[in-house]
C-alpha cells in the first residue's frame, strides 16, 4: 500500500515537498553557519548579505580569545557522565518495571510524574542543597558543590531519568522472556542474564535513550546557569560571555554555536544506524 | 566514538593551559561583571594588581540581563563566590539595605581625594546611600544623545525644515523639537535624503522599546526633564506624569523602525551604523566608540554626541562593591580602589572606556581630535554631569529600586506595542510598584 | 501457564535472592536519586508556599497559612500566563504532531536520499534553544532579518514577528515547531517502518481503499507511539522557558509570558519565592491531575504487558 508505485507527477510533488521541508528545517542552521564566516561589517546590514569575503576571525575570537573549548570540555564531561549514569540506573529500573512490574505501575507513575516539575521552581532549593553538600567531605570529594561538575551531573541525572525510564520500559517489554529463561536454565545468574542476554538485545533502544539524554544534557541552560559560575560552566552558559556591553557579538556567537553543535551531530550520525530500530520506543508491536 | 572523544579531549587539554601565580600563596578574589571590551582590557590591569598585591583575580563574565539575579542568588546564599560585585545604579540601595555589600566608608577615609574625584552626580547616585560609601563606579553609561550631524548641517535639509516648521534645523533643545526632527527625517525608499534618493526606508529616530529595562532609561530623560520622577517623595508613581511622557514616546514610535519594539541599545546602534536612523532618544554615551563607526560605514555621515533635550537623562554607572560574604574583603576593597582609581581609569579611557572620574573626563587630551574615535564624547559627558549636578532620583533611594527597575518595562513596553493604552500602562506601573513595595515605597534621605 | 512454571523454576534456582528483592534492588538507585532530588526540593517549595519569603530580604519568614494561595489566585498576571501557556501548547503541539506525522508519511514513501534527509532533519534537535533561539531573533529582525527580506522580495507582507503583540506568541511557537517537529517526524517515521507487513497485504488483497487502510490500520497501529510523543511534547511545551527567555522575554508587554517565565520573573527577578513556590505547587498539582488522565492508558499498557506472562 504505502510503497506501491505512484505516478510520476506524484513523485515530483513528493520530492518537491521534501526539499521544501528540509530547507525549512535546515535554513536557520545554514544561516548560522554562514554568519560564522562573515566579517563583522557584513552581519548587521540591510538587506542581508549572501555574498561576502569569508573570514575565520569569528572562530579565532571564540577559540582563542574566549577559550570556548573550555566550555566544550566541561559540557563533554558533564553530559557524558550524566548520560552514562542515566542509562545505567535507568536501564536497571526500567528492566525491573518491565519484567517484575514492581509497584504495579504506581512507582512508575511517581517516577514519570517528576518530569512534570517546572525546573524553575526547584532551582533555588537545588542551589541551596549543593551549596551545603559541597561543604561536606563527601560532597567535596565527589565535586558536588556549586560550580563543580558533580552538581550539574546529579541534576541532569535527576531530570533525565523519568524520560529514560519511560522509553526503556517499553523497549524491555519487547524482548522475549523465553531467551532469558533459557539462559537461566543454562545456569547463568540473574545479573549475568542481564549483562549477556538482555542488555545486548536492547542495545539499539539504549542507544536511542543515550542520544536523547545526551542532547538534552548538552543543551540545558537553566541549571547550568544557576549552579555554575565559571569552572564548570557549559556551552550554553559560555555563549553568554559573547553578550557584551557593546552588544551581542553575532559572528563569534555563530562560530561558538557551530562548534558546539558539531560534537552532537557527529554523535547522532554515529548512532544513526541504531536510531531507526530504536526510535519506535517498542510501542509498535508486530 | 571513542576516538572522537579522545581527540576532542586532546584539543581541550592543549587549549587550557593554567597560568601560574606569580607569588607563592596569592589571595584569591573573584569579580562578577558584564562581558565587553573593557573586561577584556581589564585583563592587563588585573595583572598589575595581582603582582603588586600577591593576589589572584578571577573575572566572571555574566550576561547583562542576568547579572542582577545571579548576584542576588549568590548573596542570599552567602556563598562568598563573588568578592567584588558589579551593580547597576538602581540596585545599590537594595544591596546596601539588605546587607549584601560592605560599607567602604572606613576604607576610603584616607582616600578622600579619589572619592571626591568621582563626578559628583555619579557619586550621589551610585556610591552613597544612607550616609555611607559603598564602593566606586568604574564605568558610566550616563545618557545623552547621538545625532547624525551631517543631516542637521545639510543646507537643503535646513531650508526644507525651516519652511515646514518655521524654525532652524539644529541639535534639538526640547523634546518637541526632537519630535519635529524625527518626523521630518522619516522617509520612504526612493524619497530623497540630502538630495540623494534612498535605497531603503529611513527613520527619524531609533528607540529601545524592546523587552528590556532600557525603555525606562529613555523615558527617564523627559520625565526628569519635566521636573518629575518615577517615584514621588511619598514613594508613589506619579501616574499623570508617566502618562504624559509615555504618550509622547508612543507618538515618537511612528518615526522609528519597526524593530524598535524588539531591540535595546545594541539594536539601535546597529540601525545607526546601517544608515537607517537620524538620531537616538536619550542614549548611553559610553556607546560613542560604537556610534562613531557610522562614519566609516555610511558615506558622508558625521556623528555628534550631545546633551539630551531638557538636559536631564539617565545617570548610569556600574558600582564596584564588596560582598559581605567575601572571605577576603580587604583585598577586594583594594581591588575596587585599584580599578576605580585614577591610573587604571586613565588607561581605561585610552582604550575607549567611559571613565567616572572628573579628572580624566576633563583632561583635554581625551577631547583632542586624535582621541575622537575613542573618547570623543567626554566633553559632552562632562557637560551632562555638570547640568545634572544636584539632581537625584527617588528610584535610587529605595531598597526596592532594583525590583522596580527590573519590572517597570513590562507595562511601559505593553503601551509602546499597543497592547494597552498609555493611561492603563501608567496605572499598571503604579499598581505593580505598590505591590513590589507592599504599599508606598520607602525612600531614604 | 508455561511461563508461570518457568518463573517458579527461576525462583527456586536463584541463589538466595527472590524476584521481589531482585526487582527492588534494580530500582533502588533510580528511586534514591528521585526521592532525594525530587522530594527534597518539592518539600522546600511546599514549605515556602505557606510562608512569607522575599529572598532578597534574607531568610524565610513567618507562616501565613493560605495567604500566598489567595494572593496567587487573585493575581491577574498568573491567570494571563496560564492562558498564554495553554494557547501556546495547543497550537505548538498541534502543529508539531500534524506536521511531524505528515513529514513522516512523505519520507516513508521516498526512495532516495533518506539518510541525508534524516540527518538534516535531526539538526534542529541537536541545537540548544538558548543559542539557536538567539539566531531566530536575528532571522526575525524586521531590519536585518533574512526572513522579511525574502518575504519582501516576493511581495508578501513583512510582519513584525516578535514586536507585534498579536503574533509574537505564534512566532515563538514557530520556533518551537521548527525545533521539535523533526522529533515527532523521526519517531513517526520509525513507527511507520516498523509496522508489520501482513495485515496491509491482506487488506490490499481484500481491495480496501487507501483511506480505509489509513484510518483502520495504519493509525490504530501507530496510536501508542504517537500518544507517547504527544504526552512528551505537551509536557515540554507547558514547561516552555528557554525559547521565551531568549526570543521575547515575555514581551511585548506580557503577550508571550508563559507560566514558567512568570515563575522565573517572580522567583528570580522579584525573589518572591513564596509566590513562586505557591504557583509551582499549584502548577505541579494541575499537571499531576492531567497526568493521571494522560498517563493511565500508557501505564495500563505497560502493566498489562508486564503481567502478560
CA A248 to CA B262: how far, in whole Å?
14
DSSP label at residue B18 = P
Region B270-277 average pLDDT: 96
pLDDT at residue B155 in the model: 96
| C191 Cβ under 8 Å from any chain A Cβ | yes
Residue C260 in domain: yes
Best CATH choice for the domain B27-141+315-386 from the list 3.90.930.12, 3.40.190.10, 3.40.50.970, 3.40.50.150: 3.40.190.10
pLDDT, position B23: 78
Query: What confidence tier does A107 reach under pLDDT thresholds 50, 70, 90?
Result: confident
C42 occurs within a structural domain: no
User: What does the angle CA A111 – CA A116 – CA A122 come to, to the nearest 5 degrees?
Assistant: 95
Range B143-313+408-437 has CATH code 3.40.190.10? yes
Report the predicted TM-score, pTM, of the whole model to 2 decimal places.
Answer: 0.90
Across the interface, of B257, B262, B410, the residue whose CB is closest to C253 is: B410
CA distance C198 to B200: 63
Residue C40 lies in a domain: no
Domain A61-278 has CATH 3.40.50.620: no
In a domain, C198, yes or no: yes
Any idea which of A139-143, C50-54, C116-120 has the lowest mean pLDDT? C116-120
SS3 category, B172 = coil
Residues of chain C contacting B261 with CB distance shorter than 8 Å: 160, 162-164, 252
Q: Nearest 5°: CA angle at C243, between B82 and A264?
A: 85
Q: Is the pLDDT of residue A65 over 70?
A: yes
Contact B271 C271 (CB under 8 A): no
Measured at the CA of A110, the angle between CA A104 and CA A113, to 5 degrees, comes to 135
Which residue segment(s) compose the domain that C92 sits in?
55-308
pLDDT tens for each residue of C2-32: 444 444 444 444 445 678 888 888 899 999 9
Nearest to A72 among B12, B30, B200 (CB): B12
Tell me the β-bridge partners of B60. B32
Of B180, B268, B172, B255, the residue nearest B217 (C-alpha): B268
Q: Are B27-141+315-386 and B143-313+408-437 the same fold in CATH?
A: yes
Q: How confident is the model at residue A125 (pLDDT cuts 50, 70, 90)?
A: confident
pLDDT for the residue C75? 92
> What is the ipTM, given to two decimal places?
0.88
Q: Is residue C44 part of a domain?
A: no
Residue C308 confidence class, pLDDT cut points 50, 70, 90: low
Q: Is B36 within 8 Å of chain A by CB?
A: yes
> What's the whole-number mean pLDDT along residues B16-32?
71
pLDDT in tens, A145-187: 999 999 999 999 999 998 899 888 877 877 788 888 888 888 8
3-state helix, strand, coil in chain C (%, to 5): 75, 0, 25
- For chain B, say whether C71 makes contact (Cβ under 8 Å): no
**Per-residue model confidence (pLDDT) at position C12:** 44
Cis amide linkage into residue B100, ω under 30° from 0: no
The pLDDT of residue C1: 37
Using 50, 70 and 90 to split pLDDT, how confident is the model at C36?
A: confident
Contacts of A243 in chain B (CB under 8 A): 35, 63-65
Tally C-beta pairs within 8 A across A and B: 97
Average pLDDT over residues B33-38: 78
- What pLDDT was estimated at residue C41? 87
User: Computed over its alpha carbons, how large is the radius of gyration of chain B?
Assistant: 23
Residue B22, pLDDT score: 58
* Beta carbons of C213 and C203 less than 8 angstroms apart: yes
Q: Which of B38, B58, B287 comes nearest A230 by C-beta?
A: B58
Distance from CA of C115 to the nearest CA of A (A): 9
**With an 8 Å Cβ cutoff, is A222 touching chain C?**
yes
Which of C141, C144, C252 faces B417 most closely, judged by CB atoms? C252
Angle, alpha carbons A212-A216-A218 (nearest 5°) = 115
What does the block give as the cell for C265?
520573573
* Interchain proximity B211–C270, CB inside 8 Å: no
What DSSP state is assigned to residue C22? Answer: H
The C-alpha cell at B366 is: 581625551
Q: Highest mean pLDDT: which of A27-41, A98-112, C178-192?
A: A27-41
State how far the Cα of C207 lies from the Cα of C200, in Å rounded to an integer. Answer: 11
Using a CB-CB cut-off of 8 Å, the residues of chain B touching A45 are 274
Q: How many CA atoms lie within 13 A of A152 on its CB side?
A: 32
Q: Is C248 on the interface with B (CB under 8 A)?
A: yes
Domain count, chain C: 1
pLDDT for residue A112: 82
In sequence order, the 6+-apart residues with CB closer than 8 A to the CB of C243 are C129, C133, C172, C175, C176, C179
B12-21, B49-58, B205-214: segment of lowest average pLDDT: B12-21
How sure is the predictor about A11, in pLDDT bands with cuts at 50, 70 and 90?
confident
What average pLDDT does range B430-438 have in this prediction? 94
Max mean pLDDT range (A101-110, A113-122, B313-322, C57-66): B313-322
Put simply, whether A76 touches C (Cβ < 8 Å) is: no
Evaluate the omega torsion of the peptide bond into residue B401 and state whether it is cis, within 30 degrees of 0.
Answer: no
Task: Give the model's pLDDT for residue B324.
Answer: 95
pLDDT at B12: 39
Span C90-137, pLDDT tens digits: 999 999 999 999 999 998 887 777 778 888 888 898 888 888 898 999
Residue C123 maps to which CATH number? 1.10.3720.10
Percent of chain C having pLDDT more than 70? 93
CA distance A219 to chain B (A): 18
Sorted by where each begins, the domain ranges of chain A are: 61-278
For chain B, which residues make up each domain, given as ranges?
27-141+315-386, 143-313+408-437
pLDDT of residue B409: 94
pLDDT(B109) > 90: yes
For C252, the closest of B94, B403, B413 (CB atoms) is B413
Amino acid at each position: 500500500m504505502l510503497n506501491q508505485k505512484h505516478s510520476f507527477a506524484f513523485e515530483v510533488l513528493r520530492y518537491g515537498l521534501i526539499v521544501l521541508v528540509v530547507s525549512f528545517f535546515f535554513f536557520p542552521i545554514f544561516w548560522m553557519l554562514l554568519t560564522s564566516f562573515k566579517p563583522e561589517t557584513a552581519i548587521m546590514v540591510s538587506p542581508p548579505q549572501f555574498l561576502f569575503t569569508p573570514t575565520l576571525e569569528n572562530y579565532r575570537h571564540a577559540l582563542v580569545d574566549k577559550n570556548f573549548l573550555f566550555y566544550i570540555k566541561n559540557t563533554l564531561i558533564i553530559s557524558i557522565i550524566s548520560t552514562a549514569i542515566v542509562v545505567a540506573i535507568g536501564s536497571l529500573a526500567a528492566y525491573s518495571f518491565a519484567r517484575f512490574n514492581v509497584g504495579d505501575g504506581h512507582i512508575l507513575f511517581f517516577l514519570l510524574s517528576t518530569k512534570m516539575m517546572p525546573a524553575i521552581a526547584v532551582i533555588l532549593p537545588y542551589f541551596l542543597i549543593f551549596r551545603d553538600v559541597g561543604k561536606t567531605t563527601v560532597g567535596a570529594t565527589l565535586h558536588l558543590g556549586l560550580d563543580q561538575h558533580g552538581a550539574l551531573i546529579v541534576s541532569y541525572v535527576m531530570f533525565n531519568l523519568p524520560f529514560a525510564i519511560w522509553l526503556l520500559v517499553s523497549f524491555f517489554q519487547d524482548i522475549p522472556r523465553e531467551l532469558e529463561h533459557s539462559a537461566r536454565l543454562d545456569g547463568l545468574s540473574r545479573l549475568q542474564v542481564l549483562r549477556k542476554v538482555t542488555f545486548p538485545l536492547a542495545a539499539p533502544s539504549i542507544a536511542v535513550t543515550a542520544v536523547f539524554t545526551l542532547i538534552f544534557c548538552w543543551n540545558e541552560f537553566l541549571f547550568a546557569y544557576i549552579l555554575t559560575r565559571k569552572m564548570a560552566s557549559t556551552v550554553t552558559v559560555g555563549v553568554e560571555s559573547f553578550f557584551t556591553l557593546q552588544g551581542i557579538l553575532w559572528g563569534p556567537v555563530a562560530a561558538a554555536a557551530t562548534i558546539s553543535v558539531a560534537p552532537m551531530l557527529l554523535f547522532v550520525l554515529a548512532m544513526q544506524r541504531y536510531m531507526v530500530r530504536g526510535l519506535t520506543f517498542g510501542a509498535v508491536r508486530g | 566514538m571513542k576516538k572522537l572523544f579522545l581527540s576532542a579531549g586532546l584539543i581541550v587539554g592543549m587549549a587550557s593551559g593554567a597560568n601560574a601565580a606569580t607569588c607563592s600563596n596569592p589571595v584569591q578574589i573573584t569579580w562578577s561583571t558584564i562581558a565587553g571590551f573593557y573586561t577584556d582590557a581589564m585583563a592587563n590591569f588585573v595583572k598589575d594588581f595581582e603582582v603588586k598585591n600577591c593576589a589572584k583575580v578571577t573575572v566572571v563574565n555574566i550576561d547583562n540581563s542576568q547579572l542582577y539575579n545571579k548576584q542576588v542568588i549568590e548573596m542570599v546564599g552567602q556563598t562568598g563566590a563573588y568578592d567584588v560585585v558589579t551593580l547597576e545604579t538602581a540596585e545599590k540601595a537594595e544591596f546596601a539595605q539588605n546587607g549584601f555589600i560592605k560599607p567602604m566608608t572606613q576604607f576610603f577615609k584616607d582616600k578622600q581625594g579619589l572619592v571626591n574625584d568621582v563626578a559628583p552626580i555619579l557619586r550621589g547616585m551610585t556610591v552613597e546611600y544612607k550616609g555611607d560609601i559603598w564602593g566606586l563606579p568604574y564605568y558610566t553609561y550616563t545618557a545623552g544623545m547621538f545625532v547624525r550631524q551631517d543631516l542637521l548641517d545639510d543646507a537643503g535639509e535646513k531650508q526644507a525644515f525651516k519652511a515646514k516648521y518655521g524654525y532652524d534645523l539644529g541639535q534639538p533643545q526640547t523634546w518637541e523639537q526632537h519630535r519635529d526632527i524625527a518626523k521630518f527625517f522619516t522617509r520612504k525608499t526612493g524619497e530623497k535624503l540630502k538630495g540623494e534618493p534612498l535605497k531603503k526606508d529611513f527613520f527619524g529616530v531609533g528607540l529601545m522599546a524592546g523587552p528590556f529595562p532600557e525603555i525606562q532609561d529613555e523615558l527617564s530623560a523627559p520625565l526628569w526633564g519635566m521636573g518629575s520622577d518615577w517615584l514621588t517623595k511619598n514613594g508613589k508613581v506619579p501616574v499623570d506624569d508617566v502618562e504624559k511622557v509615555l504618550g509622547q514616546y508612543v507618538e515618537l514610535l511612528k518615526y522609528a523602525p519597526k524593530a524598535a519594539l524588539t531591540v535595546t541599545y545594541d539594536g539601535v546602534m546597529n540601525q545607526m551604523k546601517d544608515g537607517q536612523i537620524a538620531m537616538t532618544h536619550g542614549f548611553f554615551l559610553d556607546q560613542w566608540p560604537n556610534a562613531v563607526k557610522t562614519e566609516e560605514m555610511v558615506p558622508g555621515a558625521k556623528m555628534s554626541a550631545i546633551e539630551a533635550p531638557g538636559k536631564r537623562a539617565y545617570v548610569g554607572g556600574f558600582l564596584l562593591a564588596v560582598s559581605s560574604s567575601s572571605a577576603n574583603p580587604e583585598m577586594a576593597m583594594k581591588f575596587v580602589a585599584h580599578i576605580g582609581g585614577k591610573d587604571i581609569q586613565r588607561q581605561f579611557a585610552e582604550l575607549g572606556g567611559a571613565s567616572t572620574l572628573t579628572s580624566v573626563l576633563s583632561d583635554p587630551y581625551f577631547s583632542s581630535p586624535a582621541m575622537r574615535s575613542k573618547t570623543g564624547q567626554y566633553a559632552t559627558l562632562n557637560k551632562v554631569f555638570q547640568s545634572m549636578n544636584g539632581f537625584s532620583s527617588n528610584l535610587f533611594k529605595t531598597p526596592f529600586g532594583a525590583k522596580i527597575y527590573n519590572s517597570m518595562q513590562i507595562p511601559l513596553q505593553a503601551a509602546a506595542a499597543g497592547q494597552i493604552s498609555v493611561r492603563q500602562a501608567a496605572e499598571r506601573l503604579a499598581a505593580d510598584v505598590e505591590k513590589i513595595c507592599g504599599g508606598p515605597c520607602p525612600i531614604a534621605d | 501457564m508455561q511461563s508461570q512454571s518457568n518463573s517458579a523454576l527461576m525462583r527456586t534456582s536463584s541463589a538466595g535472592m527472590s524476584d521481589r528483592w531482585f526487582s527492588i534492588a534494580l530500582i533502588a538507585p533510580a528511586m534514591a536519586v528521585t526521592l532525594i532530588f525530587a522530594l527534597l526540593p518539592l518539600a522546600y517549595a511546599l514549605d515556602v508556599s505557606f510562608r512569607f519569603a522575599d529572598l532578597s530580604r534574607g531568610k524565610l519568614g513567618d507562616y501565613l497559612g493560605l495567604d500566598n494561595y489567595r494572593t496567587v489566585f487573585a493575581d491577574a498576571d498568573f491567570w494571563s500566563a496560564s492562558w498564554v501557556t495553554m494557547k501556546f501548547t495547543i497550537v505548538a503541539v498541534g502543529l508539531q504532531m500534524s506536521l511531524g506525522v505528515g513529514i513522516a508519511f512523505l519520507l516513508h514513501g521516498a526512495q532516495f536520499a533518506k539518510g541525508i534527509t534524516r540527518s538534516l532533519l535531526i539538526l534542529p534537535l541537536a541545537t540548544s534553544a538558548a543559542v539557536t533561539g538567539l539566531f531566530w531573533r536575528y532571522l526575525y529582525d524586521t531590519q536585518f532579518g533574512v526572513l522579511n527580506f525574502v518575504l519582501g522580495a516576493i511581495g508578501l507582507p513583512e510582519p513584525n514577528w516578535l514586536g507585534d503583540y498579536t503574533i509574537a506568541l505564534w512566532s515563538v511557537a514557530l520556533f518551537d515547531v521548527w525545533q521539535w517537529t523533526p522529533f515527532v517526524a523521526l519517531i513517526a517515521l520509525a513507527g511507520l517502518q516498523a509496522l508489520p507487513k501482513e495485515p496491509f497485504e491482506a487488506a490490499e488483497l481484500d481491495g480496501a481503499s487507501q483511506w480505509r487502510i489509513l484510518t483502520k490500520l495504519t493509525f490504530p497501529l501507530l496510536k501508542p507511539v504517537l500518544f507517547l510523543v504527544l504526552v512528551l511534547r505537551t509536557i515540554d511545551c507547558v514547561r516552555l522557558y528557554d525559547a521565551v527567555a531568549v526570543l521575547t522575554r515575555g514581551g511585548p508587554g506580557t503577550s508571550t509570558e508563559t507560566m514558567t517565565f512568570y515563575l522565573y520573573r517572580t522567583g528570580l527577578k522579584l525573589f518572591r519565592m513564596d509566590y513562586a513556590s505557591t504557583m509551582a505547587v499549584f502548577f505541579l498539582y494541575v499537571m499531576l491531575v492531567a497526568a493521571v488522565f494522560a498517563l493511565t492508558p500508557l501505564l495500563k499498557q505497560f502493566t498489562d504487558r508486564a503481567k502478560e506472562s
